[in-house]
Amino acid sequence: MSLENKITKILLEKMGDALYKVIFRIDYRRKYRFADILTSIRALWGITIVEPQGARTKMTADLDRSHLEIKFLPITGNIKEYVAAFMDDVRKVEGVSSFIFEKIVDIEKIKKIDR
């Protein structure tokens, strides 16, 4: 087995075998670029994909709302703790006014394959 395969195997074992897809509602200040906010969220540990869903909604003169579909591999074994910590981290991103969990869309099992 190659070094790359060994590292992949170790990482998959540490992360578990579930990839979660969740919908969140985000309110953000219009003076900040939405793309920059999404980039900051994508940089958080365990996040694999961040995609806006539907059109953005104007809430006030300086506040917009959007829905995000986020896929992630929880870093800890406890999904509730991971999501709570992740939400706290997103709320600290400059420009984010609120970040609210809406629903789990899907949980996919990752196939652990030796390539």
Query: Which of 86, 81, 110, 95 has its CA nearest to residue 13?
Result: 110
Domains and CATH numbers, the chain: 16-109 (3.30.70.60)
pLDDT at residue 75 in the model: 75
Q: Encode pLDDT of 53-106 as tens digits.
A: 999 999 999 999 999 999 998 877 678 888 999 999 999 999 999 999 999 887
Residue 11 half-sphere exposure toward CB, CA atoms < 13 A: 11
pLDDT at residue 9 in the model: 62
